Amino acid sequence: MQVSQGRGDEQLIRCASDRYRRRPHYQRPASARYTETMSISLAYSVDADDAFMFHALRAGGVDTRGLSFTHQRGDTSELNALAGAGEIDVLAISAGAYPGVAGKYLILPHGASVGRGFGPVVVARQPMALADLAGRRVGIPGLSTTAWLVLRQMQSGLLPVVVPIVPFGRIFECLDAGTIDAALLIHEGRLIYQSRGYARIAELGEWWQAETGLPLPLGVNVIRRGLGAETIARVSAVLRDAIAYALDHRDEVLRVLAAEKRGEAALAQTALLDRYLAMYANDDTRAMAPDARRAIEVLFDRAAKAGLLPADCRIDWAP
């Protein structure tokens, strides 16, 4: 595997509790003068962590350096498909989908969703071993998702049934109706399954860390190569500032997210949102740490050896 390194990894401070504490560093730069405004298209999911990192662009919280941004939201599988088309400038996609779009996009060094000892979960109505699901139907958020890529490395013979994450409650309805035997939950779903009486069968982040000693890279932001080096650098700088703004104004963003209507009352609970953002919108989002970058390489290498991804995927990083 070939890896092209970007610039400007930021230092992370690890606390004794093994969580990262934030160090405020965002400073709004003096507005540069641009003779023309350039439009940049964004596409990201309906989930709270994606909305969190792009909030400042909607709220006018950062200097956009002569750029304007259009916002499109969809479910994870839709975003991966959009990346395949190569028309959107910046997308939040599954890390496992990157090999399929590497010719069109660079990975941005910020905006990642990383699980450190945690990740998507497999749940069912009754306790069972993961091996018991061989030959049985498992609801998944998409065939191109990182969660499905990792789950296939954990257990073969699963029968995937794609259940989009929108509307949010559909996966639970399918479980209750018996149209699937288990569900692979990503995003906020992993935080509420217990309150609905489901049993956890497997935790992907725990398994991955035990297997590799690395965090699990679940989602990445990518930027279209065709924008050219100068524009890519400018867009990346604005997005980095937007993430820094959100981290440094967390309570403000949390209130906005709680007011969003996403068709499920639980998703408006401040305590749930706070817990979810602590997991997936943190200093790993601000700047991808070296171990998370290494984890992407390992993810692709292991999947290629298992015949799940093509070999020799080139990973190119934006600045």
Tell me what pLDDT residue 106 has: 98
Number of C-beta neighbours around residue 100 at 10 A:
19
Higher per-residue confidence, 61 vs 187 = 61
Higher per-residue confidence, 82 vs 15 = 82
Q: Which of 285, 295, 317 is nearest to 48 (CA)?
A: 285
96's tokens:
């496992």
Residues catalogued as catalytic: 187
Residue with tokens 């006018």: 60
Q: Distance between CA atoms of 145 and 147, rounded to whole angstroms?
A: 5
Q: Which of 129, 130, 266, 128 is nearest to 189 (CA)?
A: 266
Same fold yes or no, 3-115+214-316 and 121-212? yes
Tell me what pLDDT residue 28 has: 47
Q: What is the per-residue pLDDT across 160-201, written as a single tens digit (0 to 9) for each?
A: 999 988 888 899 999 999 999 999 999 888 888 988 999 999
Return the domain boundaries, the chain.
Answer: 3-115+214-316, 121-212
The answer on pLDDT for 13 being more than 70 is no
Tell me what pLDDT residue 21 has: 37
Phi, psi (degrees; rounded to nearest 5) at 83: -60, -35
The fraction of the chain above a pLDDT of 90, given in percent, is 77
Phi, psi (degrees; rounded to nearest 5) at 113: -105, 120
Question: In CATH, what number does 3-115+214-316 get?
Answer: 3.40.190.10
Tell me what pLDDT residue 20 has: 35
- Kindly tell me the burial class for residue 153, based on how many C-beta atoms sit within 10 Å of its own C-beta (0-12, 13-18, 19 or more): middle
Q: Distance between CA atoms of 236 and 134, rounded to whole angstroms?
A: 43
Amino acid at 197: G
| Banded model confidence at residue 269, pLDDT cuts 50, 70, 90 | confident
Assigned CATH topology for domain 121-212: D-Maltodextrin-Binding Protein; domain 2 (3.40.190)
155's tokens:
């257990």
Higher per-residue confidence, 188 vs 289 = 289
Q: Where are the alpha helices (DSSP H) in 156-213?
A: 170-177, 189-192, 204-212
